[in-house]
Amino acid sequence: MRKLKNKTANKIKSINSNQNRRDNSGWFLGLFAVLFVMMIGRAFLVGGAPVIGMNGAINTSRPVVLNFSDVLRRADDIQTMEVRGNAAHGVLKDGTKYTATITYDPELLTKISESGASVSIDASRGFADILGTWFPIVLGLFFIWWIFRGMRGGAGGLGRSLVSQNPTKITTGKPGTTFKDVAGIDSEKQELAEVVDFLKNKDKYQSVGARVPRGVLLSGEPGTGKTLLARAIAGEANVPFFATSGSDFSGIIVGLGVAKIKEMFEMAKRNAPCILFIDEIDAIGQRRSAHSFNDQDREQTLNQLLIEMDGFANNTGIIVIGATNRPDMLDSALLRPGRFDRQVHIELPDMAGRNEILNLYAGRVKIDKDVNLHDVARGTTGFSGADLENLLNEAALHAVRNGRKEISPIDIDEARDKIIMGPRKLRKMRPEDIKLTAYHEAGHAFVSMMYSDITDPIHKATIIPRGRALGMVQHLPIDDKVSMTLAEVRANLSIALAGRSAEELFFGADKITTGAESDIAMATRLARYSITTAGLSTKLGLAAINQVSSIGTRGALENASDKTAELVDAEIRSWLDTAHQDATKLLTKNRKTVEKLANELLTRETLTGEEIHKIVFGTTQKPTATKKTSKKTNAKSKE
């Protein structure tokens, strides 16, 4: 470790020396600024001195400006003329000073002299003339000196100089992060534990002849902990950690990326065994093609990275860890064995993982004992580790704004709603819009209660506007689902279209609004997926119509004829119409209950799942209703 520190100190000393040399060259910029100001000042300080006219009065006006034709026409009026290049100045016979621009012509000057004027020619060179001649020469010599100064270190000296002016972010020694600071991705940690064991016990693997992966590629959604996991590997192994990002290797100067790749791997070789982490590696590792001739510098940078990772040099002890959100964009040469041998995809945490992450971050804030982190994990499906950390931070900020010293369940709900839907909107709405929103959300909530045995339970319903939404009904899943049954799909379609059904039932078909836009879009996506991809339609059968293309997107209707496309459209419409009819029947049969639910929303703005259950079902007995379990089963209930 002492040897590592000495090398690091020498590195810092060298960088400081280069910095001093760059600072000393600042005198040239100062000299240039002074000379420039002097030239500008000389041009503006040339003014007209007082002139004594023929009547003896003092003429304080500036010299008159004569053009070439004026000089020819008024040659007899000129008393004196002093010529310097193409510029002339002097005094007219009436005492007026003048300046003129003429063509240096001996015949012209002879004519003016014969008319009685005193003509003199100044062939000396002034300060501005000398500066204009020598300044570009000195500037060019200085630039050549600067180039040779950067090349004194060898062939890569200039590149090293440019690298030193744009250094990479480097962390040496042992990072403070360990596997204890990483939660919710246990399987990924086990996958990378072998890398840590190699760095600690390299001889054990070499004695068997095993080759530890040269590189590990971490991929996953943003915020899933790729950078945190890389730092934890270095912290567990107690080895130097070199960190940079893919954008650090791009610049306006051609060859800068190649020089920086060389510089970083040379530092890693001097401190092996170590970890070299490149975040957002897709910035330099994008797939090469025959049409990428306009980006040759990036390809050269990628080529240098390929050579350094697995070229002629033996970089034993250097493990490269790359992180990206788009592994499909990376070049195949970068992903082959010998470079990134192992690819670890980090999924979004499941419910158990979210619970672990929340418990980890909860130790850093003050949380009230009434907060149930398991319920918080249930209500944050699709949240990454970074999202969960931000959730607790937003809850802490909300608690402080409201004068609380601990995070309460109200703060958690407010933070979650803010992240999912956006901040609360203090917009002034018309009474009729508020009433329509209440009935819309009451329709969603009621139909959700009717299908509560096969769908996720309701957490709350609210008509408080947030973001683009005027209200919402929020569900909390009991556990993580990996698939949906046909009954769940049809129930969710009815729930999604229940808001529009409520608008039609209580306000009339001509009073429906655009507020159901997101509901219709979600229902259409679910129906299309179920029919064309999941094979849940008896009319379409098990044929997958939408196939994922090479770039990860879906076409409108791939692998389908025009007749099949028409059948798909008709089937989607049939599913949506059936769901809309089912929701309308449920709301019609329970009109008074839905009205009561809407009035409670108008009065209290927000209702919890327990309060909705009590309003809909009462305290002991549910209303009579037959749950829909298939397409042919009609849900029934009574008021």
φ/ψ (deg, to 5) at 129: -65, -45
Unique residue bearing structure tokens 């937003």: 394
Of residues 559, 8, 585, the one with CA closest to residue 267: 8
Unique residue bearing structure tokens 């309701």: 458
Pairing of strands 318-324, 342-346: unpaired
How far apart, in whole angstroms, are the C-alpha atoms of residue 459 and residue 374?
Answer: 14
Pairing of strands 625-626, 636-637: antiparallel
Active-site residue identified among 394, 441, 503, 571: 441
Active site residue 441: yes
Amino acid at site 364:
R
Specify whether the CB–CB gap between 258 and 292 falls below 8 A.
no
Which strands, in side-by-side order, build the sheet including 118-121? 64-66, 97-101, 87-92, 78-84, 118-121
CB atoms within 10 A of CB 548: 12
Of residues 75, 73, 83, 123, the one with CA closest to residue 104: 83
605, burial (CB in 10 Å: exposed 0-12, middle 13-18, buried 19+): middle
Unique residue bearing structure tokens 């769940």: 488
DSSP 569-621: HHHHHHHHHHHHHHHHHHHHHTHHHHHHHHHHHHHHSEEEHHHHHHHHH-SS-
Secondary structure of residue 190 in the 3-state scheme:
helix
Is the N-terminal amide bond of 213 cis, ω within 30° of 0? no
Specify whether the CB–CB gap between 39 and 125 falls below 8 A.
no
DSSP 358-413: HHHHHTTS-B-TT--HHHHHHT-TT--HHHHHHHHHHHHHHHHHTT-SSB-HHHHH
Using CA atoms, how far residue 164 sits from 243, 341, 449, in Å, is: 16, 31, 65
How far apart, in whole angstroms, are the C-alpha atoms of residue 21 and residue 32?
Answer: 18
Pairing of strands 51-52, 64-66: unpaired
Specify whether the CB–CB gap between 376 and 358 falls below 8 A.
yes
How far apart, in whole angstroms, are the C-alpha atoms of residue 57 and residue 36?
Answer: 38
3-state helix, strand, coil in the chain (%, to 5): 55, 15, 35
Specify whether the CB–CB gap between 131 and 137 falls below 8 A.
no
Amino acid at site 251:
G
Secondary structure of residue 302 in the 3-state scheme:
helix
Of residues 255, 253, 275, the one with CA closest to residue 264: 275
Unique residue bearing structure tokens 């508020």: 434
Of residues 566, 457, 470, the one with CA closest to residue 517: 470
Specify whether the CB–CB gap between 78 and 92 falls below 8 A.
yes
How far apart, in whole angstroms, are the C-alpha atoms of residue 336 and residue 310?
Answer: 10
**Active site members:** 441
